[in-house]
């Protein structure tokens, strides 16, 4: 078990004073809670959403994350106003839409089902991440920079009924894993994912009562905001991020490559445990073969010709 403690003394809210943070999906739910918390820490928060916020906090720019130019405009706005981007949070997302994988018969196949969930959750995160890394790396110096993506419990556990949503959240977790060895050396940027369980937002209104009736723990959006801010603050020199498990050298390099599952306001990393026990769940012999094969892939420069 590797638990993440956002309240650890080494993770100070003072780390956010005058820092410039760009966030997508900041008008409601987890995003709005994160904007409010960052603002209370003295950060300069620039956030996008397709709907305006209820509270006038930070700098809001109407942003449709399914459009590349809107993502680019969000970062340009932040850079032109403040001269840099210190941290970024790819938060925008939507819940499952009707029309997929229902027993409606062959007559129902004339038109494709809606692809909004793929466009917002996955393509929007890809666009945001692609642009964020360039702005985070620009005039970085020796300052800590980070990118945090929003996956879900559905990103690693089967969730019946959330067919497309779950696929996109798996994709976001896969994106983080594909980048976690690349971004620190290529861009000087840490990347992590947070994976909330049931969180009291409008997105889960249809299932929330049944979940709570079973006595299952829930998150408040403010809980997730604290974890997100803790991840951003956990740069090099922040000492005791994880309790238990093995040391992934977070104290030296800062928190990077982690996927933090959040339930009842508590966060647990799933990546270190998967890595540490691979010889058990995959088998010792094949695990060693896979390890050698992975090393043979190198840095990742050779997949796509320039």
Active site members: 165
Cα dihedral 6, 8, 11, 14 sign: positive
Torsion over CA: 274, 276, 281, 284 (sign): positive
Distance between CA 50 and CA 33 in Å, rounded? 17
* Nearest C-alpha neighbor of 270 from the set 154, 156, 149, 151: 156
Q: Is 269 helix (H, G, I), strand (E, B) or coil?
A: strand
In angstroms, how far apart are the furthest CA atoms of the chain?
A: 61
- Within 10 angstroms of residue 83's Cβ, the number of other Cβ atoms is 10
Alpha helix (H) residue ranges in 96-198: 116-117, 124-137, 163-179, 183-186
Between CA 199 and CA 31, with CA 243 as vertex, the angle to 5 degrees is 25
CA distance 10 to 103: 53
**C-alpha span between 140 and 187 (Å, rounded):** 9
With contact defined as beta carbons under 8 Å apart, do 118 and 164 qualify? yes
Kindly state the helix (H) or strand (E) to which residue 295 belongs, with its residue range: helix 284-296
Q: What's the helix, strand, coil split of the chain in %, to 5?
A: 40, 15, 40
| Contact (Cβ atoms closer than 8 angstroms) between residue 211 and residue 167 | no
């Amino acid at each position: 078990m590797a638990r993440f403690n956002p309240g650890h003394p080494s993770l100070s809210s003072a780390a956010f004073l005058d820092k410039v943070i760009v966030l997508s999906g900041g008008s409601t739910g987890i995003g709005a809670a994160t904007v409010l918390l960052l603002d209370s820490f003295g950060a300069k928060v620039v956030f996008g959403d397709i709907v305006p916020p209820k509270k006038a906090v930070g700098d809001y720019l109407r942003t449709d994350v399914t459009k590349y130019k809107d993502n680019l405009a969000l970062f340009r706005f932040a850079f032109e106003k403040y001269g840099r981007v210190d941290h970024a949070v790819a938060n925008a997302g939507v819940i499952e839409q009707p029309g997929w994988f229902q027993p409606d018969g062959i007559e129902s196949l004339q038109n494709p089902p809606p692809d909004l969930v793929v466009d917002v959750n996955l393509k929007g995160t890809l666009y945001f991440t692609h642009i964020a890394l360039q702005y985070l790396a620009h005039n970085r110096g020796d300052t800590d920079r980070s990118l945090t993506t929003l996956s879900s419990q559905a990103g690693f556990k089967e969730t019946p009924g959330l067919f497309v949503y779950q696929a996109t959240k798996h994709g976001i977790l896969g994106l983080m894993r594909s980048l976690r060895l690349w971004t620190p050396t290529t861009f000087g940027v840490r990347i992590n994912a947070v994976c909330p369980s049931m969180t009291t937002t409008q997105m889960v209104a249809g299932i929330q009562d049944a979940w709570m009736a079973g006595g299952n723990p829930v998150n408040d959006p403010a809980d997730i905001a604290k974890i997100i801010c803790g991840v951003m603050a956990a740069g090099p020199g922040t000492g005791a991020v994880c309790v238990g498990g093995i040391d992934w050298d977070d104290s030296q390099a800062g928190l990077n490559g982690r996927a933090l599952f959040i339930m009842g306001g508590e966060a647990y990393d799933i990546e270190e445990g998967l890595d540490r026990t691979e010889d058990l769940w995959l088998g010792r012999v094949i695990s060693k073969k896979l390890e050698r094969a992975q090393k043979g892939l190198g840095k990742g420069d050779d997949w796509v010709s320039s």
